[in-house]
Amino acid sequence: MRKSIIIWIIALILVAVVSVAGTAYYVGDGPKEKLVVSTTTSLYDTELLDTIEDEFEAKYSIDVYFISVGTGLAIEHAERGDADMILVHAPSKELSFLEDGYGVCRKIIAYNFFAIVGPEADPANIEDLSPTHALANIVETGINEGAKWVSRGDDSGTHIKEKSLWAAAGFNWTILRNEGWYVEAGAGMGKTLQVADNLDAYTLTDMGTYLKYYNDGIISLEALVTEGEELLNVYSAIAGNQTGHSGINFNGAITFMKFLISEKGQEIIATFGKDVYGQSLFYPAVNLLKHDKNPTLVQWIKNYAFFNGYECPPEYQDNHPELYT
C-alpha cells in the first residue's frame, strides 16, 4: 500500500513538472506578431515574396500576410487600415498616399521594365520599335481588325503605366477603350497575359510576371518591345501612417522595410529567378541609387519615381533617417 502511494505521488510530480515545462515553453515562445502587406500582383505572382517571407520569418518573430491585388486596390486597403504597409509600383499614386496622410517612410526597393508582348506573327509589326511607335501601329492595325489589345483595366500600376503610354503616343485612353479591338480584362497580370495569349493579342506586362508565365509554358506571347526609359518600372515600400490608424503594426512594417533594403534582402531580389529564367526578374535598387553605379539608369529612376528630388520627401520620413543614409 505504502509503495503504491509513493508511486502515485511520484507520477503526480512528474505530470506537474512536464506541465510546468510545457507551459514555460509556450509562454516563452508566445504568439507571433502579425504584419499585413498589401502588394501588387507582379511581386506576388512571381513568388518572389514567398522567398522573402521565408527568409524574413526565419530571422524575426513576425508572421507576414500578403494581400495581392492591383496597386490601386493595394493602396485602398492601406487607406482603410486593413494593411500595415504597401509594396506597389505607381509613383503618382504613391505620392498621393503620402500627401493624404496615409503613408510614411517610402523607400524604393527594386526595379525592372515593362514590355509590350504579343503573338509571334506580330501583325502590327511592332518588334523593336519605340513604345509610342508600337502603340500607334497597334491602333492602326486594330482599327483595321488586324490586331487586338488586352488591358488590365484594373487601376493597377501596370494599368496606370499603360494609360501614360497611350497619352505619350497621342491617344485618349477613354476613347480607345470603347473600340472593339480594345479588350479590358479587369484582372491581375497573370490572368491578363492568359487572356491576351488566348486572343493572340498584344498587352503591356511587367517583365517579371511575363518571364515566369512564358518559361512555365502558360503563355506563348513574345516580348516585342522591351527597351526605353518609358518602360521603366519601379517598386516601392511604404509604411502605413500610425497617426491615422493607431492599430497598424508600424514597427513591424519598418522592420520588414529594413530587411528589404538590407544586404540580404537586396541579394534575394538580385538573384531571384536567375537559375530558372537565365536572368533576374527584378533588380535591386538600393545600392544603385546610393552609389550612382549607373548614372543613366539612376537618372531615369529619379525622373520617374522621385518627388522633388527625393524618393521620400523629408516631411514624410517620420523620424527614420536611417532608411535614407
The mean pLDDT of 215-223, rounded to a whole number, is: 96
pLDDT of residue 70: 87
Are 62 and 37 in contact by the 8 Å Cβ rule? The answer is no
Look at residue 257 and tell me whether its pLDDT is greater than 50: yes
Q: What is the mean pLDDT of the chain?
A: 90
Decide which of 29 and 226 is more confident. Answer: 226
Sign of CA dihedral 290, 296, 299, 300: negative
Beta bridge partners of residue 146, listed in sequence order: none
User: What angle, rounded to 10 degrees, do the helices at 48-59 and 250-261 form?
Assistant: 110
pLDDT of residue 5: 40
Sign of CA dihedral 166, 169, 174, 177: negative
The C-alpha cell at 197 is 495569349
The C-alpha cell at 12 is 503526480
Sign of CA dihedral 181, 184, 189, 192: negative
Condensed to tens digits (0 to 9), the pLDDT of residues 55-67 reads 999 999 999 999 9
pLDDT of residue 21: 37
* Distance, CA of 282 to CA of 277 (rounded, Å): 12
The answer for residues whose C-beta is within 8 angstroms of residue 237's C-beta and 6 or more apart is: 85, 86, 87, 106, 107, 109, 256, 257, 260
* Distance, CA of 245 to CA of 160 (rounded, Å): 27
* pLDDT bracket for residue 295 (50, 70, 90): very high
CA 237 to chain centre: 9
* pLDDT bracket for residue 30 (50, 70, 90): low
Per the document, the length of the chain is 325
Residue 172 CB-density burial (10 A; 0-12 exposed, 13-18 middle, 19+ buried): exposed
pLDDT of residue 244: 80
First to last CA, the chain: 76
Domains of the chain plus CATH, in order, are: 33-112+232-323 (3.40.190.10), 113-230 (3.40.190.10)
Condensed to tens digits (0 to 9), the pLDDT of residues 42-51 reads 899 899 999 9
